[in-house]
Structure 1
């Protein structure tokens, strides 16, 4: 599936006690090997400890460090893992603060620190030389000759490209990893010794997230821990693994024990992001050349997949961001609609209200827009159009909602018009096929369009992103409007937004109506209702659970994922909700419908893009309407 498991590690250390530090390091290596990790990144100068100060200028420390580098190489034999450890390296009378990459008994390469902090509490230039200009160089150690040395090394295994930078390198205006990522590096390892002061941890975390986003890479960050010298500073052992702007795993700061965190990096997703982002490779024209050092893993397989897979990737997962995210979404929808009203100089909105989720959300957007523009809500013409399948529950909710929100409410029953149309086209009213359903959908749209013309208003579309992905709409029926505000809102997010408004913005009476709409089964109500007046036609019984389809859509569009990978991720995310057979069944349905229904998306009305996924033919998805799904199933 193009995942690779990586680790960030922070061992207990004793300052300047190389043997002790070595033993702590190999204990963590053993744990990482047990977890099938392929890259483990240790902190800056972890073999000696970072806070040795002038002891770095003593040959005993330098030579002992080299001895234990040799031991570490021997220890790594027959272990299918790249070990990145920090050590001082003496080269031609200059001492360098280095990241040493070790694999299967030998050093693959040594990367010197490019930028040495020499301000505030840092004074590394007292001991070390900067390595920023060292390229295309080789050095000898007592136990290994001709070792690649420089800031131009990328460690490669098939589509995995690993680059090393050290602490301060991340904090400068253009980090070395920026150049390396353009040259192909997709995993960055940072060996760090970043001390703690109030507020620094959150800034550092943002820095790591942002660099992983800018470079479209994974970023493994490992910092020195609390057992470094506390003569003047304290280090916390901060551990983070980021990927394209998000944090996959983090450690416990200030832990007094050695720590190891792991996560699975999605290499294929990073590749997709780089393929799609045409600005990425054109960012810098004069990118320096890098040497590629082959690794040669025996296997990239792992027994345990420990990456969190969000069941609802469109829905905010951080409770602290809930209110802010909802407000932002409504602001995008309403501001876009306000611009359309200003442009057309329309004073009225027309919207069909069914008592279902989508029309409810669209109405809430229209309400917010009119309030924002200082327009009278009585100019919002809400129309409910009962048909053969309309139940008392949805009808009453539609009526109550429109009246509670103080809109112009109208009711137009479509039964007689539909029956007349059946006669006109020679269709038996007792045959409940697609014609039976679409006649009603198109009759409703005709009514809405004509009233919009009559009133000089805009017909507001209500269909959502999930319906567009599945083609679960009637072509030139509910598929069409004068402006669609929900076109890039998936069904799982529609529910979320309606619930947010219900619990945060409404009086108790309106809240009760919205919550009942949320609890109502999703249905177009185009087939006759049951004997007890209940909903018979339930959308998710026909096309499958929307939470699954939204998951499939996100990974298909947002990551370019293949079917097998989407299936694997879905089974991980929904392992407690659906069996594997059910997931595969609806995934097949999704792919089939997504391809066969593209013609509907090719003729979409205007509407704002809200999230990272849009199916507009003028924006994110330029797809042939007659493309085959055979290669994708």
Structure 2
């Protein structure tokens, strides 16, 4: 008998360096796992200290406190009679490693260091850790005294080994290892490992979930076996949102999935599997058996324990293996409505702020930001309805009534308490945008203000006149480009200063404690092009849409219009994007795409070529000739590419001060965190542009011949 096993995967909203909070969430996950009958529990990567500690991994305190928390966990009642796989950093022979620690009943079975480090994109693990390169090799690791007192062990195995119970074999691969061409699960499966764990901190990016899903399904379909994928969920202190969606798969089929976006601090998914299904699946492939018979062995760490049930026949037959499920994959529009909203909630509750402030312009970008906050309010109300005590407690703290019996039941009412918007108009603002801003605020319930800032603009110009004896003019009134830019920028920068003043004092005006976080609302394409004023309303505390393209934001607004029955949102979509910083005349209305000299769709294309496909000016031109050559001349394409790189380079310095934005798009220009490029360029790109021009002319000449 004894071949049905219940396995648990913990999906936790951990916070970097929040050792106490992380401990409590880990303990809660162990309690839930045992209540569900699980005999093995795995959690996310570096769950004890939090994944996003970054340079704190260079500090000895982080390692000391991790051992202290592990000691508390091992001594707890919740950690008894269950095999536990937990993540923490460990120093072995004076070298720092990202590790998994396997223990059972106060005995450490194995410390398994990460073999392949994530060191591209958003990740810098090689800055803090060293990969373990002694494959299939174990060494003795000397335990700290505080752990020896609990385990009565002096040393424990450290290295690339696997866990052998009385009824199966467990191996692990950490996050990045799944994504490597020669993933450890391949060789482990050939050596008889039947259950694989993957503890991960994989961040949310639009349309990314399919990649993880395909890899996990493919791994178990090709090799056979059970795969337990435990992903972090939430904002652990950075611009990334870890999107959960933990999985349990067997032989190519997913049998359990965690939520991808949730306000739950602790979520545990369990599945009961028949380990004989793995053996039958593998035994049906002759070629696999031939390879397995010749496979080198992994060192095994034995534990006298069975994962499978060994109780009475009656209780045994109450267990049934889980059937395959249909995996839930959100559309990009749904992802925008959920991911940034969850990120905002984590940031708000952990920053101890009293809510958000947003300059609401009546355009698509600030509209999208406002809708994300409204989506957050809906998630809070839904969580409170489901009796999420942590969400209710956090909501009370945020509104300044921690000891009240307040429960958020209406998203508009909750929005009015924590969300503040303001339309800051000048003589250059249109009545249409003013009306759209007011109508949207009314619909979502934000505490809305409408203010004219012309007197402040005039005061600055009067001061300038007194200093210099000159008065600048807009271009439409005969002024130069320099004058025109200065007059636009002063309006934008005044709005930023006023936004921060209102954010600090509005709660005080309403008789409430605390202050507000200022939200930015510039999209990834504007940041890429530098189409924003430095230190204007793009300067804020955080920006939920800074990693999202204009095209995706438009799709998101359409989605929200249908989901919440908001016909007024169509007016945002119908209006051409405009900064409204220049006077409107009979012959002139300012438009973003005209000012930029390129469309938002073109910007997305340029961004993807530059970052994802790693194109410089010349290679971008040659690729676009292939893609756009049927509708544009090579010289026209050349002009677009040169214009993009010119403005990208002269505005690159703006990325050094850009508001921290939620990472959602893989072509983000976020300086020094995701996009490690210079901020001072020779904007003429003399060699590159000359080669583009020569090639464009040659192509057109050949076409003429």
Instruction: Report the TM-score when normalising by structure 2.
Output: 0.42
In our comparison, the structure showing a higher alpha carbon Rg is 1
Structure with greater helix percent: 2
Instruction: Report the TM-score when normalising by structure 1.
Output: 0.47
